[in-house]
Amino acid sequence: MDSARIQDLKRRVARDPASIAFAQLAEEHRRAGDFEEAVRVSRRGLTLHPEYTSARVTLGRALLALEQYDDAQVELEAVQRVAPDNLSAIRALAELQQRRAAAAAPLAMPAAPAFEPSTAPAEARRERFDRALASLAALALDIPAPTVVSGPPAPEAMSGGTALTALEAWLDAILADRVRRRGAPVL
């Protein structure tokens, strides 16, 4: 924990209680593992700045760490309503869904398969990617998939590792799609 940074931010917030420095202070507490303090600082600051989405994401992530899933979902969905492209909120909501699924059936979740580089032709890899996207959309994250695919596998057949891999691939596809729509080359 960088107590000097936290102390500096505490002084800034004490000097100006209406300052948006509360968000940085809350995030520093969250990173340091002091989740209760992160929640307290975030909630106090959000009473003055309810539209500050990054502070609301910090609050949601701290609540998630404290396993207060319903409260975390409320905060993260509030961010998603006003900033649907906020990747931190999207990732936190995905983690929330994964934790809830794991808590609901901790013994039923199979181990993630070992990673094996694909030697399949590009068309087969794309088909597998499309199935992963469809499966992720079926996990009820309420995030529209960037492509239309057919024949998704059942979400209950996916392991936690597979779901996370599909989420990462999906986020990459969203980013590539945004870049393409803006006319810039995809790196």
Domain extent, residue 53, equals 3-104
pLDDT of 32-87, one tens digit each? 999 999 999 999 999 999 999 999 999 999 999 999 999 999 999 999 999 999 99
Asked whether residue 127 falls in the same domain as residue 82, the answer is no
Tally of domains in the chain: 2
Asked whether residue 64 falls in the same domain as residue 91, the answer is yes
Asked whether residue 78 falls in the same domain as residue 151, the answer is no
State the average pLDDT for the chain.
78
Asked whether residue 20 falls in the same domain as residue 63, the answer is yes
Question: Is 159 within the bounds of a domain?
Answer: yes
SS3 of the chain = CCHHHHHHHHHHHHHCCCCCHHHHHHHHHHHCCCHHHHHHHHHHHHHHCCCCHHHHHHHHHHHHHCCCHHHHHHHHHHHHHHCCCCHHHHHHHHHHHHHHHHHHCCCCCCCCCCCCCCCCCHHHHHHHHHHHHHHHHHCCCCCCCCCCCCCCCCHHHCCHHHHHHHHHHHHHHHHHHHHHHCCCCCC
Question: Is 186 within the bounds of a domain?
Answer: no
Report field, pTM of the whole predicted structure over 0.85: no
